[in-house]
Amino acid sequence: MSLSLVQSRALLGLEAAVVTVEVHLANGLPSFTLVGLADVEVKEARERVRSAIQNAGLEFPNNKRITVNLAPADLPKDSGRFDLPIALGILAASGQIQAARLAGHEFAGELSLSGQLRPVRGALAMALALHVSGVATRLVLPAESAQEASLVPDAEVYGARHLLDVVRQFLPPCDGDALPTEPGDDGWARVLPAPQGPALRHADLADVKGHAGAKRALEIAAAGGHSLLLVGPPGSGKSMLAQRFAGLLPAMSVQEALESAAVASLGGRFAVERWMQRPTSSPHHTASAVALVGGGSPPRPGEISLAHHGVLFLDEFPEFARASLEALREPLETGTITIARAARRAEFPARFQLIAAMNPCPCGYLGSALKPCRCTPDQVSRYQGKLSGPLLDRIDIHIEVPAVSAEQLLTSPAGEATDAIRDRAGEARERALARQGKTNQSLQGAEIDRHAGLAPDALKFMHTAAAKLGWSARSTHRALKVARTIADLAGSPAVEVAHVAEAVQYRRALRAVG
């Protein structure tokens, strides 16, 4: 048979679209043509596939005109994931393997010149696409990639180490012993999820001395899913607090873990040992807008998507480029980021909790009792002005982190442990989920009015505070959602004046610091 069809998948954002690799062998001037909107890496598959087939001891049809079509033709294809299906298509079209037996399988894998299979990006995204669409098929991948794809529930994933390992499964029965084998070769096997070891332990919040107010803010943020801005002088403990925040969050559900791992797999950062662990992304302040929110050609996920269902920690917040910071505004509201280009469009999830840290002024010591500030009012204004009002509006909690004295640092006992705080925050989050099916931070529009439950005197207090502080509608709603979380932590069905008063303290204008 001179025509064969092999199934694979292309990655476009987090979607894994079906690609049919069509291979046709014809008489004529020998050539190897690859069509179907293939990127440079895919076109280079011609040389990799030719060498891999020959070095594996198989026959490459050098005397034929080979045409490979990656359908659909208008879907962009990139990376070396199509090496394996192209090689199998050529072998099936030339009669070396049974083409009919390839049905019910999907293949992806990059080939080395010797025929070894190398891992590919997005293996978990491919398995997740099969799971979501309910397609019952076998997914054949390089062994390293198969391990991550097997984490998807009910996935039938097979791993192989060499082209020959795959070819042996589709040979005619009489040709099974014709291929060379290596001693102890067990390169083909169904891959099952590896048993999970003990969960990775986050650094303990008990290590941080003092800062009762900041720890309270972290607890509220963990309970309600709120974003947080830490403002304080150098060395006050902002980074220590932020790095311990992920330990306060509840355990991930399987669906959350799959979504987070699929994004990490697209970026080539997935590690099996971090399965079911909430990610923490900490990009340097020199990161570009593309690195932060995603982009490129083809579109790749940025740091905000790699922090999906986890924490995005931005230290030295005002030092980030203005364009990078302003790009955060939409994802903070919607939980997604859409990368739109002339040729293609991709959407990535980006439901993260933002923890930002900054100094109050360029020298860092504005309002510090330990060291005088040497900045002029104009320098302070220019520095804080790097953060736009709309961006600050979208950060729910603003908290000061004052410097800790040497005496307090050396003599104070250890603070409250992470486990105790996480339990309280988890109980409050469960109350919110039982009441409204989502965290308080996710409430929108009429949901806020329906679930906030303000007592009459608390409503009056909120009106007065919003008017005197000049809050926007967004700021008022943000404060109301924080107050709802504080009430949940207290086990109160209604939001009382005390809860609103505490929430108001977390909306202080940045310029009032110090």
Q: Give pLDDT tens digits for 73-100.
A: 988 888 899 999 999 999 999 999 999 9
What integer pLDDT is reported at residue 131 of this predicted model? Answer: 87
What integer pLDDT is reported at residue 512 of this predicted model? Answer: 43
Average pLDDT over residues 124-150: 90
Q: How confident is the model at residue 339 (pLDDT cuts 50, 70, 90)?
A: confident
Hunting for tokens 């339990």 — which residue is that?
423
- Check pLDDT > 60 for residue 1: no
Q: How confident is the model at residue 514 (pLDDT cuts 50, 70, 90)?
A: very low
The pair of three-digit structure tokens given for residue 208, joined into one six-digit string: 């941080």
What integer pLDDT is reported at residue 314 of this predicted model? Answer: 96
What integer pLDDT is reported at residue 129 of this predicted model? Answer: 87
- Check pLDDT > 50 for residue 68: yes
Would strands 156-160 and 294-295 be described as parallel, antiparallel, or unpaired? unpaired
Coil vs helix vs strand at 254:
helix
Average pLDDT over residues 394-417: 86
What integer pLDDT is reported at residue 380 of this predicted model? Answer: 92
Q: Give pLDDT tens digits for 449-497.
A: 888 878 899 999 999 999 998 888 889 999 999 999 999 999 999 999 9
What integer pLDDT is reported at residue 184 of this predicted model? Answer: 41
What integer pLDDT is reported at residue 510 of this predicted model? Answer: 63
The pair of three-digit structure tokens given for residue 63, joined into one six-digit string: 């005397």
Hunting for tokens 């199509």 — which residue is that?
82
More confident residue, 142 or 407: 142
The C-alpha atoms of residue 426 and residue 491 are separated, in whole angstroms, by 12
The C-alpha atoms of residue 332 and residue 293 are separated, in whole angstroms, by 11
- Check pLDDT > 90 for residue 285: yes
- Check pLDDT > 60 for residue 279: yes
Backbone angles phi, psi at 164, to 5 degrees: -65, -35
**List of residues 6+ apart from 173 with CB closer than 8 A:** none
Would strands 117-118 and 294-295 be described as parallel, antiparallel, or unpaired? unpaired
Q: How large a percentage of the chain has pLDDT more than 70? A: 95
What integer pLDDT is reported at residue 7 of this predicted model? Answer: 96
Contact (Cβ atoms closer than 8 angstroms) between residue 252 and residue 260: yes
The C-alpha atoms of residue 469 and residue 472 are separated, in whole angstroms, by 9
Contact (Cβ atoms closer than 8 angstroms) between residue 205 and residue 244: yes
- pLDDT-wise least confident of 1-10, 19-28, 52-61: 1-10
What integer pLDDT is reported at residue 74 of this predicted model? Answer: 87
**List of residues 6+ apart from 281 with CB closer than 8 A:** 303, 304, 306, 307, 310, 311, 312, 313, 352
- pLDDT-wise least confident of 142-146, 193-197, 256-260: 193-197
**Burial of 15 per CB tally in 10 Å (0-12, 13-18, 19+):** middle
What integer pLDDT is reported at residue 53 of this predicted model? Answer: 97
Q: What is the CATH number of domain 205-432?
A: 3.40.50.300
CATH topology of domain 3-191: Ribosomal Protein S5; domain 2 (3.30.230)
The C-alpha atoms of residue 420 and residue 154 are separated, in whole angstroms, by 36
Average pLDDT over residues 503-510: 81
The C-alpha atoms of residue 41 and residue 36 are separated, in whole angstroms, by 13
DSSP code per residue over 21-34 = EEEEEESSS-EEEE
Domain with CATH 3.40.50.300 in the chain: 205-432
- Check pLDDT > 70 for residue 232: yes
DSSP code per residue over 468-491 = HHT--HHHHHHHHHHHHHHHHHTT
Q: Give pLDDT tens digits for 148-186.
A: 999 998 889 999 999 999 999 999 876 555 555 543 456
- Check pLDDT > 70 for residue 509: no
- Helices vs. strands in the chain: H and E counts, helices first: 21, 19
- Check pLDDT > 60 for residue 140: yes
Q: Give pLDDT tens digits for 355-385.
A: 999 999 999 999 887 888 999 999 999 999 9
Domain with CATH 3.30.230.10 in the chain: 3-191
What integer pLDDT is reported at residue 452 of this predicted model? Answer: 83
Average pLDDT over residues 225-252: 93
What integer pLDDT is reported at residue 283 of this predicted model? Answer: 95
Q: Give pLDDT tens digits for 426-449.
A: 999 999 999 999 999 999 888 888
Please name which of 313, 391, 399, 393 lies closest in space to residue 356, comparing C-alpha atoms. Answer: 313
* Mean pLDDT, the chain, integer: 89
